[in-house]
Amino acid sequence: MLSQGLLLHTQPARHNNQPMDFPCIDKLETRQRDLLSGPEPTYDKIVTGYKTYTHPQFTCDHGGQLSQMRIAYETWGQLNAQKSNAILIHTGLSGSSHARSHELNKSAGWWEKFIGPGLAIDTDKFFVICTNVIGGCYGSTGPSSFDESGARYATSFPLLTINDMVRAQFHLLDHLGIAKLHASVGASMGGMQSLCAAALHSERVGRLVTISACARSHPYSIALRFAQRQALMADANFNRGHYYDGVQPHVGMKLARSIATVTYRSGPEWELRFGRRRQRPDQPPALCPDFLIETYLDHQSERFCLQYDANSLLYVSKAMDMFDISHSVTQRLSRLRADNQRACTLVCLDASEQPASDQGHSGVETSEEIRADLVRGVKAAMQPTLVLGVQSDILFPVRQQKEIADILRQAGNTRVTYYELDAIYGHDTFLIDVVNVGAAIKGHLENTH
């Protein structure tokens, strides 16, 4: 018998719940082990068959010098005797120069169905050039390149602007003897570059095509790219960008790409394509990829995480964030670069000694002042212009393409054509909708008026 006040305590029964399986984490751990013992990724093996041009001493807008700047490029078609039929294709964030297949690289390019004989960009009529932007990792000088000492630049590479990328491309055009382009064509970040080329090198650009781009980066897209960079830099292998002799920050890259992929497509497309279907509906729910949309994101990010340099993602995406075609921004960057060039005649800064700068953003505040500053920024861009937007694009909403068309018209350009596509593919429509995007581009490039 228990004495009064004594409570009887019993040991709770151990639960019989089975621990959750995590095959997705197993995969990450396996890749970590493989990277520890295997060779580091070589990005120059991912894209092959390109040519390179090396330009001596390149000064970047925000400071820092490259003792030499290499730019990778590929071409299709024939340059005519007058050298007047050249079209420059500008790439998106992670794009390579391999826009279309050719004898030196027979793999399909990222714009394979748009470039070629009789296609939207007709290589029977035009000489087509595509580059890998500086800061990238597919043949052009970037953070993964080696400096004069034989070490990787890593995060001692200078910060870049879209203007820097375009200036590098025009150095290539000088090398090729092309005084004026028939057209400057780009989508996404490429559309920023094409607009920049037309505004800042107006005398050298005959026509402008800008697709799913903007005249200045807006807070929503900046926030999305910031989230990607934060995910990447939180990877334990990132090591402040000095990871080339160790394990690549593959987990952070995979997370960053997952975020990016969400912004590249649209909800309506995924409703039709995936719905709420699960990969294995007969199995209990899982915390690893379970819904078909999750398996899609996992596959896309898995494929990307070791194919593009993490530092290039940081630098190029930051250049996108800083883009602003406003007159005040362009003037500040030009003055800053001129000051840096003068300083280099005395003591030349290397990339690791770039000065801190708050330049590169507009100081104006009201919407009227911002619009007026943008209009002044494109006042020289009087070329026949095609602006394309996509209604389902959440990364670069159509109001941003309307803004491009509006400021060009306000600046006095009377030859601006604006099309808004009702496609379900979101931002990636420019890669997918061959019929509508292709027809608009072809009509604009071949219009003789």
Alpha helix segments (H runs only) across 142-240: 162-176, 189-200, 219-233
Active site residue 55: no
Integer angstrom CA distances of residue 347 from 56, 65, 343? 17, 11, 6
Report whether 206 contacts 180 (CB < 8 A): yes
For the chain, give the number of residues.
Answer: 449
Integer angstrom CA distances of residue 386 from 10, 58, 310, 339, 447? 78, 31, 33, 36, 11
Distance CA 196, CA 166 (A): 7
Active site residue 427: yes
Q: Which of 144, 188, 301, 317 is catalytic?
A: 188
Single-letter code of the amino acid located at 81: A
Q: Return the SS3 of 130.
A: strand
**What b/e string do you get for 319-338 counting C-beta neighbours within 10 Å, with b at 16 or more?**
bbbbbbbbbbbbebbeebbe
Single-letter code of the amino acid located at 311: N
Active site residue 393: yes
Place of tokens 């295997």: 38
Q: Which of 55, 62, 171, 427 is catalytic?
A: 427
**What b/e string do you get for 151-172 counting C-beta neighbours within 10 Å, with b at 16 or more?**
ebbbbbbbbbbbbbbbbbbbbb
- Token output for 274: 């995936």
- Token output for 322: 């800083």
Q: Which of 147, 164, 373, 393 is catalytic?
A: 393
Active site residues: 188, 393, 427
